[in-house]
Amino acid sequence: MSDVIFIEGGRVIDPAGGTDGVRTVVLSDGLVAEVAERVDRPAGATVVDARGRWVTPGFVDLHVHLREPGLEYKETVATGARAAVAGGFTSVVAMPNTRPVNDTLAVTELVLARAAAAGLARVYPCGCISRGSAGEELAEYGELKAGGCVALSDDGKPVMSPALMRRALEYARAFDLPLTVHEEDLHLVGKGVMHEGPASTRLGLKGIPGQAEEVMVLRDVALAELTGGRLHIAHVSAAGSVRAVREAKRRGLRVTAEVTPHHLSLTDEDVAASGYSTDFKMCPPLRSAGDVAACVEALADGTIDCIATDHAPHSAVEKAVEFDAAMNGIVGLETAFAVCLALVRRGALTPRRLVEALTSGPARTFGLPGGTLARGAPGDVAVLDPAATWTFGPGTSFSKSCNSPWKGKQLTGRCTHTFVAGRLVHQAAAEHA
Ligand SMILES: [Zn+2]
């Protein structure tokens, strides 16, 4: 049994409950007990002074790479869960491209056991779409669902066969599991390493057109219509993909989408400005300013359901190579709030929509608990200081890896306290708070 905790004086933003105002949040027995303007505090209750801060449901991230089993030099379930709560994330979905991949009950159970031992963020495993993520035959969805998987994905790779994708959508539908799809036509990608445009031409790097993503989104929307399956588009990056998702939703198909903080805020010109920094290399690549604007607009209007970090830790050695040879991906759990808060400061997103895209939006997309401060909801809460300035880097990060375009940069906006099941699991160091 946990203490009774009073989080007092903060601006409570709970989009699911329609709350935006100064309230006290009371956590008791691991749950949200009350959110009210005035609550009498019993003697002995733990008090968190949240004046000047935002108090929101704990963030939910549908797309993180925790690297365990097999790639523990990059991250472990425990270090990833620690980074999650440092960033305000109380629930994360662990992608299956580990070694071995998560296409069996044994791997699902291992991830859940490691998460339970860490006792930090809630970790929901994602199983593979295809056995070995090889794109040839389907994995055992019943076994994966029974073990605790909440979605299926071959992330890191597209499902290139439309026939296999059709069968996957049909089979997953029987278990009501969403498919998270990494949309890239590998024939159009070729040997590309960044977005195809004027910047790639200037840099002499092979380009990947936005249409490499768009054609796969269009294909899978068609297959979602054919099968009635649940399609979730991972890390949308191209304006054409946004149009395809908007049209699919307009037609009432079961299609949802996520976007990363970096695809909302950086462009291919930032790759050029960085001087070939491999911390700007990811898949899908950073795209044009027009693509970024389309993603921001789609997040604001609800076409894109949620923000997901695609937290992808890699060791320094794997990034300290030529741009062509570097691994794809960046860490994102600890910088997501600050990076996305910049969109609020320039008026592109409301605070309510930002919080929704980090909480009830993703929770609803996969049907996960949390994402709300309704009475009786899990006692998962983030306390955020929107004015705190801090510098992201190895000295402040809890992840094992620090591959990030924001490494060494000063950021504004920081999570100061995180509660999971009514228990304090993160408090920012005072000098940074
Ligand atoms: Zn991916």
Whole-number pLDDT of residue 3: 83
Which residues on neighbouring strands pair with residue 297, listed in sequence order? none
Q: To 5 degrees, how large is the angle CA 84–CA 260–CA 349?
A: 100
- Encode pLDDT of 4-32 as tens digits: 999 999 999 999 999 999 999 999 999 99
How far apart CA 55 and CA 147 sit, in angstroms, is 33
Cα-to-centroid distance, 282 and ligand 1 (Å)? 9
Q: To 5 degrees, how large is the angle CA 222–CA 228–CA 229?
A: 90
Main-chain dihedrals φ then ψ at residue 124, nearest 5 degrees: -110, 115
Cα-to-centroid distance, 433 and ligand 1 (Å)? 33
Catalytic entry in 103, 291, 310, 385: 310
- Encode pLDDT of 270-322 as tens digits: 999 999 999 999 999 999 999 999 999 999 999 999 999 999 999 999 999 99
- Structure token digits, residue 358: 């980090």
pLDDT exceeds cutoff 50 at 432: no
Q: Is 291 a catalytic residue?
A: no
Q: How far apart are the first and last CA of the chain?
A: 28
pLDDT tier for residue 1 given thresholds of 50, 70 and 90: very low
Residue written as token pair 């950021």: 411
Residue 374 exposed, middle or buried by CB count within 10 Å (0-12, 13-18, 19+) = middle
Residue 346 exposed, middle or buried by CB count within 10 Å (0-12, 13-18, 19+) = exposed
Cα-to-centroid distance, 284 and ligand 1 (Å)? 7
Virtual torsion, Cα 196, 197, 199, 204, nearest 10 deg? 60
Q: What percent of the chain has pLDDT over 70?
A: 99
Cα-to-centroid distance, 214 and ligand 1 (Å)? 14
User: Residue 333's closest CA among 357, 310, 349, 367?
Assistant: 310
Q: Where are the alpha helices (DSSP H) in 228-267?
A: 239-250
User: Residue 381's closest CA among 10, 119, 32?
Assistant: 32
- Encode pLDDT of 348-390 as tens digits: 999 999 999 999 999 999 999 999 999 999 999 999 999 999 9
Cα-to-centroid distance, 283 and ligand 1 (Å)? 6
- Structure token digits, residue 232: 């979730």
pLDDT exceeds cutoff 50 at 333: yes
User: Residue 136's closest CA among 106, 109, 108, 167?
Assistant: 167
Cα-to-centroid distance, 34 and ligand 1 (Å)? 39
